Amino acid sequence: MSDSKGSLKPPSNLLLLAEGRAFAEAAAGVLARPFLRRAPTGDGHPVLVLPGFLASDGSTVPLRRFLRDRGLLPYGWRQGRNLGPRPGVEERIFDRLQELRQRHGRKVSIVGWSLGGIYARELACRAPDDVRQVITLGSPFAGDPKANRPWRLFEWLSGRQIDGLDPELVERMRRPPPVPSTAIFSRSDGVAAWQSCVESYGRESESIEVVSSHLGLGFNPLVLYLLADRLALPEGRWRPFRRDGMLRYLYDKPLRPRDAPPPGRY
């Protein structure tokens, strides 16, 4: 939703209340195991999973367990609760990326949920030779940084004023990272405005819509299948998601360039 001046607003109170769906989505993830066993299998490369704002590695345990079952090597960020980019946080994430890169001798894919996706994109910009691909789940990297529900709490906990963010940083966040990238978003997201979670179009970037709450993105079976499909792509042979067979009934058509909101303009 936008106001008369064209600036993007946070999701409505109704959508925020609907975030309680996350419990049902977690249950659906369990019930969908037969379907998810048919998801593509990865090649054993490492995957760094970054939690959302106020969340910890505990929130990504089901997601990481699923990725391990699909033949991947998922890792948490090991920084406790994500309270925003406080001093030292970004350096420690970078060190974690380098640790996994050296341990396995392979590029690392990064999955970032909400604020974790913004970290993921920054890591890809900083170390593109070490990152295989980036996948974001409901990450508000485009548009108005205040087009989300917890922005005031973010300012208080991180000690950063959103209005004082470096304009160059904000603009860089809106551009696709220099590695293949997939932005997974939901129009019924009750925490972040969906338009701010949509990727700009590039040769190796895409946006995929799912029906999900924000808090349920890491449990939703449609999201889990997408993660397996994207992470199973051979290195250097990225392609957009294909809605083949039954998948055409589960996933909406990809956003076309004319449908996606221009970054920073609503």
At 1-34, the pLDDT tens digits run: 444 344 788 999 999 999 999 999 999 999 999 9
DSSP character string of 1-59 = -B-TTSPBPPPPHHHHHGGGGHHHHHHHHHHTHHHHTTSPP--S-EEEEE--TT--GGG
| pLDDT higher than threshold 70 for residue 266 | no
Q: What's the confidence (pLDDT) of residue 87?
A: 85
How many CA atoms does the CB half-sphere of 69 hold within 13 Å? 15
Q: Which DSSP symbol is given to 192?
A: B
pLDDT band at 259 (very low <50, low <70, confident <90, very high): low
pLDDT band at 112 (very low <50, low <70, confident <90, very high): very high
Q: What's the confidence (pLDDT) of residue 95?
A: 97
At the top level of CATH, which class does the domain 13-250 belong to? alpha beta
At 127-153, the pLDDT tens digits run: 999 999 999 999 999 878 889 999 888
The single residue listed with the structure tokens 């249950």 is 27
Integer Cα distance of 17 and 12 in angstroms:
9
The predicted model scores a pTM of 0.91
Integer Cα distance of 183 and 120 in angstroms:
11
At 59-109, the pLDDT tens digits run: 999 999 999 999 999 999 999 999 988 889 999 999 999 999 999 999 999
Q: What's the confidence (pLDDT) of residue 260?
A: 54
